[in-house]
Amino acid sequence: MPVFRLSETPFDTGTLRSALLDERVGAYAGFEGWVRDHNEGRDVDGLRYEAHATLALAEGRRVMDEALAKYGIIEAHCVHRVGELAIGELAVWVGVTAAHRDAAFAACRFVIDEVKARVPIWKHERYRDGDAGWLHPAQDR
């Protein structure tokens, strides 16, 4: 059963990955997105993710269900952080298992692209020059 969730605290990717494995799995593909120290030529000091939790969870689950149906994968999970994050912290993780690598890679790419485009999670970046700004979900690719 595909899973999408939000987390206010750091999470362990090894534990998340191990929950996906079973004897049907021939391939695993994963994606990890970290907070970087720059964006569009500006030095970033940190950020905050905010979400409309009810809508984000519902849309996130739709994305995961679509990945399962479209790519014939075995399982897919995605966890996205909310709250304050520092440079270098893990912000989002996607894990996908399938019988074969092509489906796992394609579904993993689909999940992260669709989550960033459709799920109501907003990023508020703080810049080193003292300025700050909100980014629309689809702007951060």
Q: Is residue 140 part of a domain?
A: no
21 part of a folded domain: yes
Classify the C-alpha dihedral 84-125-4-107 as positive or negative.
Answer: negative
DSSP 20-52: T--TT--EEEEEEEE--SEETTEEEEEEEEEE-
Tell me, yes or no, whether 19 lies in a domain.
Answer: yes
For residue 68, the surrounding DSSP H or E stretch is: helix 53-71
Domain that holds residue 26: 3-135
Give tens-digit pLDDT for 13-63.
999 999 999 999 999 999 999 999 999 999 999 999 999 999 999 999 999
CATH of the domain at 43: 3.90.1170.40
In a domain, 60, yes or no: yes
pLDDT band, residue 141 (cuts 50/70/90)? very low
How many domains does the structure of the chain reveal? 1
Crossing angle of the two packed helices 101-118 and 53-71, in degrees rounded to 10: 150
Q: Specify if 141 maps to a domain.
A: no
The stretch 65-69 carries a mean pLDDT of 97
pTM, entire model: 0.93
Tell whether 12 is covered by a domain: yes
137 pLDDT more than 70: no
Identify whether 130 is part of a domain. Answer: yes
Alpha-carbon gap, residue 58 to 5, rounded angstroms? 10
Residue 125 belongs to a domain: yes
Name the helix (H) or strand (E) containing 14: helix 13-18
